[in-house]
Homo-oligomer: A and B are copies of this chain.
């Protein structure tokens, strides 16, 4: 049900029956490397194009999430997902393989939690019993589509971010055991006029703060309600801006409580990733891999994932538009076996 102005409370607590995280070589070399389900050794993973590799990773993630949920693929009722590629082809072509009713979505890198929020609503409200949310991104497909031909090896400013090669998926249901989705906050478009596509973190930080503020207001919660709050892919530049903006609003959060998936996924000292990770796959693989592992172990009890997206296109940038940001937040808590 609607709670407050822009949030959803999932009273029936949809269970995350299974998740998966499939990543590429750079993510495998990062500090979370051993906590992903699959680490590919190269970026083509046996395909003849990076786009096909991205689609293939999502297919693997979908299969693996179903396996972890112990659910035959014929039982899956709906799939909700999207990605960064024009016309979200990675998802549409992966879903062609899966043969399941499909809701395509787009929220740039916020797609991960937009999908989890919609999937949770479907399950919570009885519009579906077994629903998957999935997303993916690929460093090389994003580079060639959004920036320069990959072969150029163009130099980047330190504020730039490195698109994560990875796919993540989650299978939701009402019965079973696993972490539960308890709420979501749907973000508004926030645009403070940033026009530099090599500084996405700065463009997205205000949206993350807007959604976080709305979340605490709508649910009547303090940041301390959660053991961990992560933004999707603000990376170092955006993270610092978000911390400043949060402090201005009286929401002072320490590094123990507030982190960012774009900072967690790479070794920022040793890996050449500028300010850190980005892409739909960033928050998806970190959440559906390492973070949910910690929830399942009881190392964490309540987390809030605030996936952030920059809603630009190369064309909107070329036409002089600034970069609108958006962020969607989903609360996940340690669950007991329910309805069992």
Contacts and interface: CB of A to CB of B under 8 A. Distances in A.
A93 B324 CA distance: 8
A86 B125 CA distance: 32
B189 A102 contact: yes
A127 B312 CA distance: 28
Given A2-B129, A87-B86, A324-B92, A103 B186 contact: yes
Interface residues of A, number: 56
Interface string A124-150: 111111000000000000000000000
A213 interface: no
Nearest to A96: B189
A6 interface: yes
A101 interface: yes
A78 B191 CA distance: 18
A52 B319 CA distance: 9
A336 interface: no
A101 B188 contact: yes
Residue of A8, A49, A88 most packed against chain B (CB within 10 A): A88
B89 A312 contact: yes
Residue of A1, A78, A315, A319 most packed against chain B (CB within 10 A): A315
Interface string A80-98: 0010111111001101100
A321 B93 contact: yes
A210 B187 CA distance: 34
Nearest to A98: B189
A38 B6 CA distance: 31
A338 interface: no
A70 interface: no
Nearest to A322: B96
Contacts of A274: none
A272 interface: no
Interface in A42-81: 49, 51-52, 77-78
Given A1-B127, A49-B319, A125-B127, A186 B102 contact: yes
A309 to B, nearest CB: 8
Nearest to A312: B87
Contacts of A78: 6, 186
A280 to B, nearest CB: 12
A107 interface: yes
A321 B51 CA distance: 11
A330 B124 CA distance: 21
A278 B70 CA distance: 42
A99 interface: yes
A58 B22 CA distance: 38
Given A51-B316, A315-B51, A189 B125 contact: no
B107 A189 contact: no
Nearest to A122: B121
Nearest to A189: B96
16 contacts: A1-B126, A2-B129, A6-B101, A82-B104, A88-B106, A93-B321, A93-B324, A96-B189, A96-B191, A101-B186, A102-B189, A103-B105, A103-B114, A103-B118, A104-B106, A104-B311
A-B interface, 5 closest residue pairs, ranked by CB to CB distance from nearest:
A125-B125, A87-B313, A92-B311, A101-B186, A6-B101
